[in-house]
Structure 1
Amino acid sequence: MDFLTETTHVHITTWVIGIVLFLVAAFMNRDSKGRKIVHMILRLFYILIIITGLALFIEWSSSDAMQYGLKFLFGLLTIGMMEMVLVRSKKQKPVTLFWVLFAVFLFVTMFFGFKLPVGINFLA
């Protein structure tokens, strides 16, 4: 399982695809069959994001357990807000708060992800 933990490429690929699928689903007509299909594929990517993130967490958290734990927590919260936006918009309930929380949690998750030792250092 070294391909999951040597670099972050697989994890980054899964969450980038997940965010794209989320945005596509969020802006599709809420009653379309296509949205339901995209949402189901997105749920598969949630699982892949969590599996790749968990593999990285187990491999690297010994260096700084608290920061990796916070990143894992905020990643789960980001996924939760993505799901809340899609489900509540399908039920025609207000989603503004969940969009804001999604943006905040995504920013914090990416900040931790890029800041941690296994992350990408943009300044070097």
Structure 2
Amino acid sequence: MDFLASTHLHITTWVIAIILFLVSAAMQSGTKGQKVTHMILRVFYILIIITGGALFADGMHFNMGMLYGFKLIGGILVIGMMEMVLVRKAKGKPTTMFWILFAVFLLITMFLGFKLPMGMHFLA
């Protein structure tokens, strides 16, 4: 469980996922490349949830379960907004609100992640 509860592994997965998300969002909807990128991104969603869950379980040792729980919920909301942007874009519907929610949830989640004891302390 130590390998899965590594903050470096978790940060690597979400950085790659954000890059894949931005690439997929910039591609033309309905193209084969966009669909492949979106499917790879969904694999990274699973990796983010697995490593985040391991960090959440490890975070219980710091007696900050509620804050880690908020970060977990924030991370799930970020993933949800990423998926909503891509799916609504593919259907030709407006995505402005979901882009804004994505940015807000991402900033909140990153702030909590870096501020909590297992994070990097350059925001503390």
- Do both share a fold (TM > 0.5)? yes
Instruction: Name 2:22's counterpart in structure 1.
Output: 23
Over 3 Å counting, the alpha-carbon distance change for 1:99 and 1:123 in structure 2 is closer
Structure 1, unaligned runs of 5 or more: none
| Contact 2:4–2:50 (CA under 8 A) maintained in structure 1 | no
Letter paired with 2:90: K
| Contact 2:84–2:98 (CA under 8 A) maintained in structure 1 | yes
Task: State the TM-score, normalizing by the size of structure 1.
Answer: 0.96
Number of matched residues? 123
| Contact 2:56–2:68 (CA under 8 A) maintained in structure 1 | yes
C-alpha distance after superposition, 1:4-60 (max 9, x if no partner): 22x300000000000000000000001210000000000000000000000000111
* 3-state SS of 2:121 partner: coil
Structure 2, unaligned runs of 5 or more: none
Instruction: Name 1:49's counterpart in structure 2.
Output: 48
Instruction: Name 1:102's counterpart in structure 2.
Output: 102
Give the deviation of 1:90 after TM superposition.
0.3
Question: Within the alignment, does 1:84 sit opposite 2:68 as a pair?
Answer: no
Task: State the TM-score, normalizing by the size of structure 2.
Answer: 0.96
| Contact 1:61–1:69 (CA under 8 A) maintained in structure 2 | no
* 3-state SS of 2:43 partner: helix
